[in-house]
Amino acid sequence: MASLTSAINVNVDAKLKEEATKILKDLGLNMSTFINMALAQVVKKDGVPFEVVNPKPSKELLEALDEIDEMLNNPEKYPRYNNWKDLKKSLLDD
């Protein structure tokens, strides 16, 4: 039995399409082949074949953001330097 095909029209950002097309070309693929591969994986996995989540910041990032807030809200607790020589001297004196 002959394979039937169906067209899909998708609107994508022009720059995103251009960048993806270049990468796929380097891999020896064209957009149509890649989309067919991706859809085959959706069927095989019975869902999206990659993790789709809201990104959560790491513990380290949250701690760094808290530290920045502390420094901005209490600048009197943190030394200020007018030039790099003063900063270097302070670092070397410790």
Query: Tell me, what's the pLDDT at 1?
Result: 56
Give 40-76 pLDDT, tens digit per residue: 999 999 999 998 888 899 999 999 999 999 999 999 9
Q: Which helix (H) or strand (E) holds 89?
A: helix 84-93
Indicate whether 27 belongs to any domain: yes
Banded pLDDT at 4 (limits 50, 70, 90): confident
- Model's pTM, two decimal places? 0.55
* The total number of structural domains that make up the chain: 2
Indicate whether 78 belongs to any domain: yes
Expressed as residue numbers, the domain containing 64 is 59-93
Among residues 9, 33, 7, 8, the alpha carbon closest in space to that of 20 is found at: 33
Indicate whether 50 belongs to any domain: no
Phi, psi of 35 (to 5 degrees): -60, -40
State the Cα–Cα distance between residues 52 and 50, nearest whole angstrom.
6
Indicate whether 76 belongs to any domain: yes
Mean local confidence (pLDDT), 80-84: 92
Angle of CA points 54, 8, 51, to nearest 5°: 20
Banded pLDDT at 5 (limits 50, 70, 90): confident
Query: Tell me, what's the pLDDT at 2?
Result: 63
